[in-house]
Amino acid sequence: MNWIILIIAGLFEVGFTTCLQLSNNFTNIKWTAAFILCIGLSFLLLNRATQTLPMGTAYAVWTGIGAVGTVIVGIIYFNEPATFWRIFFICTLIGSIAGLKFFAAH
């Protein structure tokens, strides 16, 4: 169950980085409020997941989900480049996250 909580926390990390971009330097109240909500939920859920998961593994997976998700959002919604090397290294990051999950000591 805590792996699911950790994944949701990572998705909220993608949410807060996206809201950060859309907040226009915190001048857009709607996106600033969404940023605050997402960052709060992300850290709350990360804290919950680390109650039973190893902290180092949980943090690495959380930041990895956030990094991969943010890059994907950037490519799809903000027209950021999708070069071969960028996609290659995102795939390596996904492989590393999966490895941490599958080989984590409980």
The pLDDT score that the predictor gives to residue 73 is: 97
Q: How far apart are CA 5 and CA 42, in angstroms?
A: 10
Q: How far apart are CA 57 and CA 73, in angstroms?
A: 24
Q: How far apart are CA 61 and CA 85, in angstroms?
A: 21
Task: Give the model confidence (pLDDT) of 13-24 as tens digits.
Answer: 999 999 999 999
Polymer length in residues for the chain: 106
Task: Give the model confidence (pLDDT) of 15-70 as tens digits.
Answer: 999 999 999 999 999 999 999 999 999 999 999 999 999 999 999 999 999 999 99
Task: Give the model confidence (pLDDT) of 64-101 as tens digits.
Answer: 999 999 999 999 999 999 999 999 999 999 998 888 87
Q: Is the dihedral of CA 90, 92, 93, 94 positive or negative?
A: positive
Q: How far apart are CA 82 and CA 79, in angstroms?
A: 9
Kindly tell me if the per-residue pLDDT of 106 is higher than 70.
no
Query: Total domain count for the chain?
Result: 1
Residue 83: phi, psi to the nearest 5? -75, 165
Task: Give residue 43's domain range.
Answer: 1-104
